[in-house]
Amino acid sequence: MNKSLRFIFISLLSFALTTLTAHAASFGNFDPRSLAMGGTGVSSANIDHATYYNPALLSIADEDDDFSLLVPTVGVRAFDPEELLDALEAYQDGQYETTFNNAINGYNAGNTSAADAATATEQLLNGLNSLSGKALDIEVHGGVNLAIPSKSLGIGVLAQFRAMAGINLNVTAADTNLIQRYIDTLVWLDTGSGTPDLTLYDSGSGDFYDPAGLTSSANLIGAYILEGGVALSHEFDFLGGISIGIVPKTVQVTTFDYSSAVEQADTDGDGSGANELEYSDSNIDVGIAKKLNENWKVGFVTKNLISKEYKTVLGNTIEIKPQSRVGISHHTNWTVFALDVDVTENESIGYTREKTRFVALGAELDFSLLQLRLGYRHNLSAEGDAEAGIASAGVGLYILGLHLDLGVAGSDDETEAALQLGIQF
């Protein structure tokens, strides 16, 4: 590595270790190979993934690469640091709100004792407290991609769908206060002790008034993003063989934002109809890459170069901001080792407000027909008890130009998986 190129890479890496904040969606792992290799790809992606990670790689591909077609790549990610899905399932299975209403009505009809009604009401309060403040982020992506590498003009065609959503359970103070007043009044009726709230109770008839509806809710916010673009890449001899690539792209964004009662919360909801706003827009990705010698590559990419903001029907804002990453990788006929570092700190669009800034390591062993992959990424921005490290693994099969790839990653807080079918020559 000559001195000028060493200076360029060290400068980029130093820049990556400074703090730049972008409140945006995660950079994303768009294929199983990258996912299995810790999320690396800025300098190590194959031509079939170059349009996703760094379009400049289309001009420094291996000489025997001809073209690649991915149909399709699909993946899913769930970030659930507080086990919201388990808590919500338990709450719905317990039918605490129905039991509470039945207990109050049963007491009024003389079929339920004050003690039993108090127990049912305490279960409702405990159930709501088990949900309070918990949040979950979910992401689904899919895409098709055609890549034709060339030093003079590498071309890639991309169509990509990405859905990102955040779920939050908002247990209101009004609900917990109301339920506690029911408990205090029922205990007073049962034992004669404590302080009742006679605004809930008709002392003349001995009946409770009809229970008021709870105001706690499950909230869902997010966006569907459909991108289509053409990547163009060229290697510039007068810049020392540096390749520069761009992806002008059209973007269709649909934001969704709605709430429902906790008892009817559906984590599979699609936020359809009046809860959606649609936008047509454009953006651009820009990357540079350099093949230092037969074994080493470096790269730098900025995705979504133009900051964008999109409103939801409830007045919230979905932000898509620039996301930058730098990488270096070592390649042989049998192995790939890669290191990527996020330049920007990204924040999820969901309610977890997860901040991510990854240092990622990946390795691949290539046995021609079979590829084995391992990876690890560490979140420099992890806060509190959040799991900072995520391990990953995957496998690829390559037979007569056809390849099938699978990648998985996970920690105590999140799970990711991706699958891909492609043709490459």
233 beta partners: 154, 245
Mode of pairing for the β-strands spanning 323-331 and 317-320: unpaired
Question: Which one, of 19, 8, 101, 64, lies nearest residue 344 by Cα?
Answer: 19
| 334 shares a domain with 187 | no
| 201 shares a domain with 290 | no
User: Three-state SS for 286?
Assistant: strand
| 183 shares a domain with 74 | no
- Dihedral (C-alpha) 59, 61, 65, 66: value to the nearest 10 degrees? -10
User: Three-state SS for 31?
Assistant: coil
Residue 27 makes CB contacts below 8 A (sequence gap 6+) with 39, 303, 323, 325, 342, 346, 356, 358
Q: What pLDDT, on the 0 to 100 scale, is given for residue 39?
A: 94
Give burial (CB, 10 Å; 0-12/13-18/19+) of 206. exposed
Question: Which one, of 406, 410, 409, lies nearest residue 420 by Cα?
Answer: 406
| 415 shares a domain with 389 | yes
Contact predicate 322/300, CB 8 Å? no
- What whole-number distance in Å separates Cα of residue 299 and Cα of residue 243? 9
Angle at 223 between CA 219 and CA 228, to 5 degrees: 170
Joined together, the tokens standing for residue 220 give 């869902």
| 233 shares a domain with 199 | no
| 188 shares a domain with 116 | yes
| 158 shares a domain with 27 | yes
- Dihedral (C-alpha) 26, 29, 30, 35: value to the nearest 10 degrees? -170
- The number of folded domains in the chain is 2
Residue 68: Cβ within 10 Å count: 24
152: domain range? 3-82+133-170+216-424
List of E strands, 41-153: 68-79, 135-148
Residue with tokens 């991108």: 227
- What whole-number distance in Å separates Cα of residue 182 and Cα of residue 191? 14
| 239 shares a domain with 363 | yes
Q: What pLDDT, on the 0 to 100 scale, is given for residue 63?
A: 65
| 128 shares a domain with 24 | no
Residue 51 makes CB contacts below 8 A (sequence gap 6+) with 58, 145, 147, 156, 157, 158, 229, 231, 247
- What whole-number distance in Å separates Cα of residue 119 and Cα of residue 114? 9
| 266 shares a domain with 194 | no
Q: What pLDDT, on the 0 to 100 scale, is given for residue 266?
A: 46
Question: Which one, of 304, 247, 330, lies nearest residue 9 by Cα?
Answer: 330
| 237 shares a domain with 148 | yes
| 312 shares a domain with 375 | yes
- What whole-number distance in Å separates Cα of residue 165 and Cα of residue 222? 4
Q: What pLDDT, on the 0 to 100 scale, is given for residue 111?
A: 93
Q: What pLDDT, on the 0 to 100 scale, is given for residue 16?
A: 39
60 beta partners: none
User: Three-state SS for 124?
Assistant: helix
User: Three-state SS for 143?
Assistant: strand
Contact predicate 5/240, CB 8 Å? yes
Tens digit of pLDDT at every position of the chain (425 positions): 554 445 444 444 444 344 443 334 667 776 899 999 999 999 999 888 899 999 999 999 776 667 888 888 899 999 898 888 888 889 889 999 899 989 999 999 999 999 999 999 999 999 989 988 888 899 999 999 999 999 999 999 999 999 999 888 888 888 899 999 999 999 999 998 988 998 888 878 888 887 767 788 888 899 999 999 999 999 999 888 999 999 999 999 999 998 776 555 444 444 445 789 999 999 999 999 999 999 999 999 999 999 999 999 988 889 998 999 999 999 999 999 999 999 998 888 777 778 889 999 999 999 989 999 999 999 999 887 778 999 999 999 988 878 899 999 999 889 999 999 988 66
Angle at 144 between CA 66 and CA 163, to 5 degrees: 150
Three-state SS for 204-268 is: CCCEECCCCCCCCEEEEEEEEEEEEEEEEEEEEHHHCCEEEEEEEEEEEEEEEEEEEEHHHCCCC
User: Which CATH number characterizes residue 164's domain?
Assistant: 2.40.160.60
